[in-house]
């Protein structure tokens, strides 16, 4: 396992991060503990979760993922072995995560309430990385488009300064060590960084955005932010919701797959274009040509990017987990990169 610095901190995180969003929906508590045990044995020291998990988000399963991690900490007594990341939900239209059935917002009051609930479920007194799951303002992270469409920010939007100020209070209280963003834009990221300087507030150390062979939108603007500001990319969806494994090609619908179980929800919107399947076919062909498992091929492509700190994997079976983690042993040669470049030039950004 390889390790890299998290932003400008002194924390070393594994280049594979264990994602957890299926725990409580597709995976039981025992499954979660088994995955955590195996991952830690393989050198994975980084775990990512969120207050809204499991996914798909439902009132009866919300928070279960954090609870499963908490019971693992309690039984294994190994909190100090893990870098733990979780997230606070932005404006969502969901009311069951807050007191008095209020809709989630990124206000000071909501952030303080959310972190206290997460700490209880996680059975810990601190979170290493607390992330804003998505912006308070309207945003286009799931739109499937690269273009920014101008729209005024609604007057009732919680200002980033209030959100960052509340996160700063959590750092001062010792509940949170570092803060990060998720599903953010270059403008939003730089706004947080600007406020951290002008208002003497904590600096964001990471951003968690989608990145994979068919969604390379991060390269357009945010990779420059990573390079100059050392805001670490923690990439989610390295397999493009499973598409890059090739299991959905030619109209296949494997039993038990997320698409078969839950259909094509909002996170699948970007993967509906015809060019997605065309590009996927070619990437799978390259993997097979070089005798590499397509899933490992896709994950390792993410790992080797200059702007990458950690790639977040997710699995519903132990076999899948083992495949994903062992991707660190795969070599992506210059010859392979040249083949990837050809496909990217033919199908640039099919699923931004």
Beta strand 12-14 pairing with 176-182: unpaired
The β-bridge partners of 12 are 5
Cβ atoms of 233 and 206 within 8 Å: the answer is yes
Q: Is 53 designated active site? A: yes
Among 168, 31, 196, which residue's Cα sits nearest to residue 111? 168
- Residues across the chain: 352
**Residue 164 and residue 91: Cα distance in Å, rounded?**
15
Encoding tokens for residue 83? 């870098």
Number of other residues whose CB lies within 10 A of the CB of residue 151: 10
Specify whether the CB–CB gap between 179 and 111 falls below 8 A.
no
Query: Of the listed 38, 53, 130, 271, which one is catalytic?
Result: 53
What are the respective helix, strand and coil percentages of the chain, to the nearest 5? 45, 15, 40
The set of catalytic residues is 53
């Amino acid at each position: 396992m390889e390790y890299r610095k998290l932003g400008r901190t002194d924390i070393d995180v594994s280049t594979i991060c264990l994602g957890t969003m299926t725990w409580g929906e597709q995976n039981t508590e025992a499954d979660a503990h088994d995955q955590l045990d195996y991952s830690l044995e393989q050198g994975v020291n980084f775990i990512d979760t969120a207050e809204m998990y499991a996914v798909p988000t439902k009132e009866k399963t919300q928070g279960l993922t954090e609870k499963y991690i908490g019971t693992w900490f309690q039984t294994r007594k190994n909190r100090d072995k893990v870098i733990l990341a979780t997230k606070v939900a932005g404006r969502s239209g969901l009311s069951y995560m807050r007191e008095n059935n209020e809709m989630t917002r990124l206000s000071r009051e909501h952030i303080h309430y959310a972190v206290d609930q997460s700490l209880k479920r996680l059975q810990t007194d601190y979170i290493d990385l607390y992330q804003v799951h998505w912006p308070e303002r309207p945003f286009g992270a799931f739109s499937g488009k690269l273009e920014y469409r101008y729209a005024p920010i609604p007057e009732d939007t919680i200002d980033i300064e209030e959100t960052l100020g509340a996160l700063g209070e959590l750092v001062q209280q010792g509940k949170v060590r570092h803060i990060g963003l998720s599903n953010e834009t270059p403008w939003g990221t730089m706004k947080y960084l600007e406020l951290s300087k002008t208002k003497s507030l904590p600096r964001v150390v990471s951003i968690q955005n989608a990145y994979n062979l068919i969604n390379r939108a991060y390269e357009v603007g945010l990779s420059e932010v990573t390079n100059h500001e050392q805001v670490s990319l923690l990439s989610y969806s390295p397999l493009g919701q499973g598409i890059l494994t090739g299991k959905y090609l030619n109209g296949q619908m494997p039993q038990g797959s997320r698409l078969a179980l839950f259909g094509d929800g909002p996170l699948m919107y970007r993967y509906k274009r015809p060019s997605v399947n065309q590009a996927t076919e070619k990437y799978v062909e390259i993997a097979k040509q070089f005798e590499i498992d397509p899933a490992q091929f896709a994950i390792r492509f993410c790992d080797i990017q200059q702007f990458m700190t950690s790639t977040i994997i997710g699995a519903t079976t132990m076999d899948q987990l083992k495949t994903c983690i062992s991707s660190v042993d795969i070599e992506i040669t210059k010859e392979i990169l040249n083949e990837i470049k050809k496909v990217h030039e033919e199908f640039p950004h099919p699923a931004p």
